[in-house]
Structures are given as C-alpha cells and as structure tokens.
Amino acid sequence: MAESSPSVGSLLWRLGPYVRADAPYYLVALLAAPASTALVVAQPWLLKRAIDEHILTGDVPGLVWIAWLYLGAVLVGFAAEALYMLALSYGAMRTIVAVRRDVYAHTLRLERAYFDKQPTGKLLTRVTSDVDALGETLTAGAVTIVLDVLLVMGVLGAMFAFDAKLTGILLLIGPPLAIVVNLVRARLRTLFVRVRTALSALNAYASERITGLDVVQLYRDEARTLESFDEKLGVYRDTTIQSNFWDALLFAIVDGLSSICMALLLWYGAGVFGASIVSAGLLAAFIEYISRLFEPIREFSQKLAVIQRAAAALEKIFGLLDTHAFVPFGDRELPGELGSIEVTDLAFAYEGGPDVLKGLSFAVRSGQTVAVVGRTGSGKSTIGRLLTRAYAGYRGAIRLDGIELSELTADSLRRSIGVVQQDVQLFKGTVRFNLTLGAPIDDATLLDAIRLCRADALVERLGGLDGRIEHQGRNVSVGEGQLLSFARTLAAHTPMVILDEATANVDSLTEARIQAATDVLLERRTVIVIAHRLSTVMRADQILVMDAGRIVERGTHAELMASSGVYHGLFESQFVERPEDTE
C-alpha cells in the first residue's frame, strides 16, 4: 500500500526552523499587516461619510476635510503595505538561501552509492526549481495570506456594522465557495506533485543526453533522443496545462461570485427583499467593500495554486533531506602521517549485487609501492574506492596504522590519502584553483608539482597559474588533464597516493611523461597503483594479481614472471608480439 502524501500544513511546519531564523523580518511584516488592513477598511467608510454627510448636503468644507483623510489613509496604507512586502520579501529570500544551502550541503555529503542510482538532472531540480517554487510561496503565498485574512475579517466586520442583514445575504455564497475551493485545492495538490515529478524526469533525461552528446551524435541517435525528450516533455506539458486549467477555473468561479454579490447588493438596495432603500453612501461603501473583499479571495485561488506547487516541491525537498545515505565516519585522528595500511579478509558487494571483493588480505608498508593488476571487472578500482571511503558496508577490516578505517574522521582520511583517477575532473577557473581546489597551497609548491609532472609547457601555454581552464577542461587534452590531476595530488602532499588506472586514457608520449613523474612520486610517497596497463607497475615492491574479486597471485615482477601464472599471461598479452601481428 502506497504511503499517503504529507499534508500541506505538516510540510510548512517543517519549514518552521528556517523561518524562525529570520523571525525579525517576519515580525515586522506581521506588525505592518494590521495597520495596512485598518487603513484599507477605513477608506470605504470615509467614502460613505463623504457621500451621505457632505456631497448630498452640499457641505464642501466637510467634503474637503474627508478628502484629505481619504488621501492620508491611502498613502499611509500604501506605506504600511510596502513595509509589509519589503520585510516579507527580505526574510523570505534569506529563508530560501538557507534552504538551498542545506539542500546543496546535504547532497555533497551523500555517498557515492546514492549517485549511482540518482540522475544528476533530478538532483539539480531539487536544488534549483523546487527551491524556487518554495520561494514563490514565501513571498506570494502562505505568508501573505495573513494579510488577506486580516483584510477579509476587517471588511466583514465593517459590513456587519453598517448593515448586518445585507451582509448576511451576501454571505450566502460562502458555503458553495468553500466547497469549490476545497475540491480544487485537492485536485491542484495532486497535479502539482505530478508536475514536479515530470519536470524532474525531464531535467534528468536532458542532463544525461547533453552530457553524452558526443555518443548521441556519433551514433546518429538525435531523432530517437528527441522523440524520447518529446514524450517526457509531453507529460510535463499535459500535467501543467491541467493544473493551469483548475487554477483558472477557481479564479473564474471566484470572479463570477463577486459579480453575483454585486447583483444581490443592487437588488437589496432597490427594495427587492422588502427592505427600505439604502442610502447612496452605504451602497457605494458596500460596492467598495465587496471589491476589496473579493480581491484577496480572488487572489487566494492563485495563492492556493502557489501553495500547492510549493507543497509538492517541499515534499521532494524534504524527501532528499530525509535521505541519510551517508558514509559514516568516526572521531579518531591519525597520530601522525599515515605509515601503513593493513587489509584483512575484505569482502564487498555493491547494493543489490554479488560480492565483487572476496576475502582480500594484504598490507602496504610506509614507502612501499604496491600494484594491483587484473583484467577489467576483477575488482581493482573497488579497492581504491573503499580505501578512500567512497563506499561503506564492507566486511572484514581495513586498518590505517592500526586504526579501523570507519573510526577515522573524514579530514584525517582525506589528508592521508590522495587519488589520481582515470577520469579527470577539471573545473572552469584558473589553473591555480584546479590544482588547489581552494586549499591554502603556495605558488612555489604548485610550480614544483607542475615541474615534477612535466606539465611546465602545458601551464605556460595556458597562461601560467592564472591561466584559464574552460568548462570541463575543453581547452586541454585528456593526457594534459591527467598531468594536471597528477600535479594536484602532488601539491596536496598526502603521504599515500592511489593511482587508479591513471594512464589508461593517455597516449604513449604522455604516459612516458606521467611515468617520469611517477618515478619521482615513488621515491617520496607510499603508492598504490591500480592498473591494467602493466607498464606502470613493473617497478612495484609488490604486485597483487586479481581475478574475479580474489587475489590469485602476489610477488615482484620478476617472481611473477618466473611463475608463468596469470600475471605472466597478462604481461604477454600486452607486450609480447604475436605472430599474426607481423604478417
């Protein structure tokens, strides 16, 4: 049985902590609201007095005095309403900033396993358009209804004071209006949840296809991609049109009931209900009051749509914030620089899948270079992901200097292990930023790392440390990006470095330059080399050969070659010329 959606009230209540943080601004708005309401209610009363007591009697001096009072009520009322909206908008914007920051911060903490299942576009929808929908509610929806309620109560109070019977007749439209509003509210809530879901799916699909545009174009898949996009766009269009229809229907019904009230008022004034003829001033005041009464009611249909849209967005936002897919860290710090890693009976399975690591045991001592090799899918990269705590849920033990990995703080672990990955991520910005990622690293250290990585010519071509890297590193090649990634890791001065197939996507010339940088690295750091290109691992102190999640061989290059086992076969498949290749 599917869980029911939380109520609008419960969702808005959860927003309370964010609103309370900016309470002074909302308090100013709430204090300005009664003043604005009182002055709006006073204006038709002044109009009635002007007509009955001064225009009809020819009292020009009294009329001038009433006119000045009316003008004052309009100007001061406008100022009070402006203060209300200004304080409300400022407080709402601060609230939205806090929500957006929390959503983004929460997303940054989620484990890699969560991102394996969630499209990037869907998460972007949570951070952008869903939060924008919430902002619309705070500035033009839920909170402004306070002013509307005060205005309705004030207008009805004044109308009852002037003529209770006439006001009672006009209120006959109240029950049908309440029924209509409730029915439309429920329908809008359902539709807006569908709209947010459809928009999320649309953004996720567009983001995925734009990211993979090279593949789409190379395989001439534009037509089918556009067809699929049109299908998702059609769902979004249809649900949006339906929500707009119900929103417009509610607006039209409220507008029609306003006209009906005007007709009832005129009939009553003409004595249709057996009453005496009302004064011209009272008739004018009631016409003005009805206009002011139905203005917030008419807008309420729009604000109701905004609130329902925000409720749907809040449901998605809190759904993300309620996702606690975090990799747990401990509170222990390494006493000094990382010296050794000991792995005992390590087993791991990605969510819902079979074990990809099966009982691994090995040790990496300070200053050693340990290489992990094997065919694609043997589980090599998973070891690096577990050592950097990208995934939790392993079985067995991983100890850094005798401390279980899960007991360490995130900062302690990140300071101890650096990674050069196969897929390089560069950001739009300067070379300096891409090497430091905001860390306080001096230029001398950066230039030294660049020199060691043989990236001098590249950085000079880009314009030095202040040179620009374009979006996704478009102005550098894959190999050049790998050199910068190497320099980034070197500059961080982590005592241990994991090279996760760092030369898998580079040409032989760039690989030679990276190998030269690696040789320097091997002399200074503890290194774990994860690779299937064996040219990068022959100098390792120990080589672990993996197959189907297990370590099937271990030893030096010479020892493994002499054993004529799996490693020997891998080596020959890469470096020994086959007879058919010479034909």
What is the mean pLDDT of the segment spanning 108-112? 80
Q: Which two tokens stand for residue 18?
A: 């964010």
Nearest partner of 118 among 199, 192, 226, 208, judged by Cα: 208
Distances, alpha carbon 451 to alpha carbons 222, 447, 529, in Å: 44, 6, 21
Q: Which two tokens stand for residue 493?
A: 């001065």
Q: Which two tokens stand for residue 358?
A: 């099966």
At 413 the pLDDT is 85
Q: Which two tokens stand for residue 136?
A: 């619309």
For residues 251 and 131, membership in a common domain is answered with yes
What is the mean pLDDT of the segment spanning 124-128? 75
Q: Is the pLDDT of residue 134 over 70?
A: yes
How far is C-alpha 91 from the chain's CA centre?
21
For residues 208 and 152, membership in a common domain is answered with yes
* Strand, helix or coil for residue 545: strand
For residues 12 and 117, membership in a common domain is answered with yes
pLDDT band at 344 (very low <50, low <70, confident <90, very high): very high
The neighbouring-strand residues paired with 341 are 364, 400
What is the mean pLDDT of the segment spanning 418-427? 80
Q: Is the pLDDT of residue 581 over 50?
A: no
For residues 429 and 506, membership in a common domain is answered with yes
DSSP, residue by residue, 104-129: HHHHHHB-HHHHHHS-HHHHHHIIII
The per-residue pLDDT for range 65-81, each reduced to its tens digit, is: 888 988 888 899 889 88
What is the residue range of 556's domain? 367-379+412-582
- Asked whether residue 345 is assigned to any structural domain, the reply reads no
At 347 the pLDDT is 92
Distance CA 398, CA 395 (A): 9
Indicate the number of domains in the chain. 2
At 533 the pLDDT is 61
What is the mean pLDDT of the segment spanning 319-331? 82
For residues 501 and 438, membership in a common domain is answered with yes
Q: Is the pLDDT of residue 532 over 60?
A: no
Q: Decide: residue 352, CB within 10 A, 0-12 exposed, 13-18 middle, 19+ buried.
A: exposed
DSSP, residue by residue, 379-426: SHHHHHHHHTTSS---EEEEEETTEEGGGB-HHHHHHHEEEE-SS---
What is the mean pLDDT of the segment spanning 509-530? 72
Q: Is the pLDDT of residue 352 over 80?
A: no
What is the mean pLDDT of the segment spanning 80-87? 85
| Residue 410 or residue 148, greater confidence | 410
Whole-number mean pLDDT of the chain?
A: 79
What is the mean pLDDT of the segment spanning 452-477? 83
Q: Is the pLDDT of residue 274 over 50?
A: no
Q: Is the pLDDT of residue 312 over 70?
A: yes
Q: Is the pLDDT of residue 582 over 60?
A: no
How far is C-alpha 534 from the chain's CA centre?
41
For residues 54 and 126, membership in a common domain is answered with yes
- Asked whether residue 256 is assigned to any structural domain, the reply reads yes
Here the CATH number for the domain that contains residue 14 is: 1.20.1560.10
pLDDT band at 478 (very low <50, low <70, confident <90, very high): confident
Neighbours of 121 (CB within 10 A): 20
Neighbours of 210 (CB within 10 A): 11
For residues 313 and 371, membership in a common domain is answered with no
At 222 the pLDDT is 79
- Asked whether residue 1 is assigned to any structural domain, the reply reads no
- Asked whether residue 559 is assigned to any structural domain, the reply reads yes
Here the CATH number for the domain that contains residue 574 is: 3.40.50.300
Torsion of CA 255, 260, 264, 267, to 10 degrees: 120
| Residue 468 or residue 503, greater confidence | 468
Q: Is the pLDDT of residue 345 over 90?
A: yes
- Asked whether residue 53 is assigned to any structural domain, the reply reads yes
- Asked whether residue 358 is assigned to any structural domain, the reply reads no
- Asked whether residue 351 is assigned to any structural domain, the reply reads no
- Asked whether residue 61 is assigned to any structural domain, the reply reads yes
For residues 281 and 375, membership in a common domain is answered with no
Distance CA 255, CA 262 (A): 11
For residues 45 and 105, membership in a common domain is answered with yes
For residues 372 and 305, membership in a common domain is answered with no
Nearest partner of 527 among 494, 488, 484, 561, judged by Cα: 494
Distance CA 169, CA 163 (A): 10
Q: Is the pLDDT of residue 125 over 50?
A: yes
For residues 372 and 303, membership in a common domain is answered with no
The per-residue pLDDT for range 172-223, each reduced to its tens digit, is: 777 777 777 777 777 877 787 788 788 878 887 887 777 777 677 766 777 8
Neighbours of 526 (CB within 10 A): 25
At 141 the pLDDT is 56
For residues 281 and 371, membership in a common domain is answered with no
Q: What's the whole-model pTM score?
A: 0.67
Of the chain, the percentage scoring pLDDT greater than 70 comes to 86
